[in-house]
Amino acid sequence: MTPLRQALANYLSLRRSLGYKLRRPEKLLHQFLDFLEANGAPTITTQLALTWACQPKRGEANWWAHRLSVVRTFASYVHAEDVTAEVPPRDLLPCRSRRASPYLYTDREIAALIDAAGGLRSPLRVATYQTLIGLLAVTGMRVGEAIGLNRHDFDARDGILVIHHAKFNKTRELPLHATTVAALCRYLACSKRERAATGTSALFISTTGTRLLYCNVQWTFQRLARQAGLAPRTARCRPRIHDLRHAFAVNTLLDADRDGSDTEQRLTLLSTYLGHVDPAASYWYLSASPELLALAAQRLERQPGATP
């Protein structure tokens, strides 16, 4: 193993001990080291990092910037032990990140997605995707968390899902509504699933009896969205599976206002339920919906000393 390969192994081990998963960075950094070795470079140089980052030639500037940022973080680690390793400057290929506008699904649109899943080829795929979409819509969990669930993470008696190794290696319990518990029980009792799931502990499985892959789930969801007639609302607001999480969060806060609950208290509970590090990470949802922005403005106007 070369010194850079060993440094990469140590780097990944250290950052993962801090809670980072680094699946994509690991893949990119191995590709970068392949590039260095092909060019006979014993260590990292800014020029080679820039040349590698600007691939493919027809790629987008933000993708190039992301690739370089992954190398920059690793290069900083290597430089601490090897002063000959160069760290690419931060103003080289600066990233102009633009956060996508969340596609806030209506109840009718979620129902249309589930109906579209009913047209999938096999009964097992129908049951899997209808249950998966429904679970994401009513819990707001991340897609990776859902497909990472194992059968024993679901406690039907107490109506709880346990999510292990979530973002930052957090573990949390999600209490479920009785209808959600019933839907999961029906899925697990599906004869097609029972026959296919002999070699895996995964809760959601593919037709080959393996755990679902994130890329396949994304592809299938996009297909279902088109079949359900869901079209982009703007260039930056397109139906994505992750937006089921956004819709859940926004509807939770809207429901708190409608039933007269303490919105700030509900936001704190929501933060825990969604697995955010702290409530501040949940405040972004206040800007995700015009209705929520209007409610926030009304609360400010009602505060003592507010400017009329």
DSSP state letter for 212: P
- On whether the CB atoms of residues 275 and 170 are closer than 8 A, the answer is yes
Q: Domain check: are 222 and 257 in the same one? A: no
Share of the chain above pLDDT 70, in %: 87
The pLDDT of residue 236: 79
Within a domain: 93:
no
Q: Domain check: are 218 and 257 in the same one? A: no
Q: Domain check: are 217 and 264 in the same one? A: no
The pLDDT of residue 280: 62
Within a domain: 100:
no
Radius of gyration from C-alpha coordinates of the chain: 23
DSSP letter for each residue of 48-112: HHHHHHT-STT--HHHHHHHHHHHHHHHHHHHTT-TTS----TTSS-----PPPP----HHHHHH
The pLDDT of residue 120: 95
Share of the chain above pLDDT 90, in %: 60
Within a domain: 89:
no
Q: Domain check: are 249 and 218 in the same one? A: no
Over residues 161-174, the mean pLDDT reads 84
Cis peptide before 56 (omega within 30 of 0): yes
Within a domain: 174:
yes
- How many beta carbons lie within 10 A of that of residue 293, not counting itself? 12
What's the pLDDT tens digit per position in 9-57?
A: 999 999 988 778 888 999 999 999 999 999 999 999 999 999 999 998 8
- 243 pLDDT higher than 50: yes
- 177 pLDDT higher than 70: yes
Can 177 be counted among the known catalytic residues?
no
Can 142 be counted among the known catalytic residues?
yes
Residue 308 binned pLDDT confidence (cut-offs 50, 70, 90): very low
Catalytic residue among 72, 193, 245, 246, which?
Answer: 245
* Higher-pLDDT residue of 285, 268: 268
Can 276 be counted among the known catalytic residues?
yes
Within a domain: 233:
no
The domain boundary, picked from 227, 254, 271, lies at 227
* Higher-pLDDT residue of 268, 237: 237
Within a domain: 250:
yes
Over residues 196-210, the mean pLDDT reads 90
The domain boundary, picked from 192, 227, 262, lies at 227
Can 30 be counted among the known catalytic residues?
no
Can 164 be counted among the known catalytic residues?
no
H or E stretch covering 162: strand 160-163
Q: Domain check: are 161 and 115 in the same one? A: yes
The mean predicted confidence, pLDDT, of the chain is 87
- How many beta carbons lie within 10 A of that of residue 143, not counting itself? 19
The pLDDT of residue 301: 56
Domain that holds residue 277: 243-302
How far is residue 140's CA from residue 60's CA, in Å, rounded to a whole number? 31
Can 242 be counted among the known catalytic residues?
yes
The pLDDT of residue 282: 63
Q: Domain check: are 119 and 217 in the same one? A: yes
The pLDDT of residue 302: 52
Within a domain: 51:
yes
Q: Domain check: are 141 and 216 in the same one? A: yes
Catalytic residue among 67, 142, 193, 246, which?
Answer: 142
Q: Domain check: are 112 and 206 in the same one? A: yes
Ramachandran region, residue 151 (left: φ > 0; alpha: ψ -120 to 50; beta: rest): alpha
What's the pLDDT tens digit per position in 85-124?
A: 999 999 898 776 566 778 889 999 999 999 999 999 999 9
Q: Domain check: are 49 and 120 in the same one? A: no
Predicted structure pTM score: 0.69
Catalytic residue among 167, 192, 240, 266, which?
Answer: 167
Residue carrying the six token digits 């899943």: 117
Over residues 248-268, the mean pLDDT reads 76
145-162: b or e for each residue (b if 16 or more CB lie within 10 Å)? bbbbbeeebbeeeebebe
Asked which of 8-17, 222-231, 248-257 is least confident by mean pLDDT, the reply is 248-257
- Compute φ and ψ for 241, nearest 5 degrees: -65, -35
Catalytic residue among 77, 103, 129, 285, which?
Answer: 285
- How many beta carbons lie within 10 A of that of residue 304, not counting itself? 4
H or E stretch covering 174: strand 172-175
Q: How many domains does the chain have?
A: 3
Q: Domain check: are 136 and 200 in the same one? A: yes
3-state DSSP call for residue 160? strand
The pLDDT of residue 123: 93
Residues 6+ apart with CB under 8 A from 168: 19, 20, 277
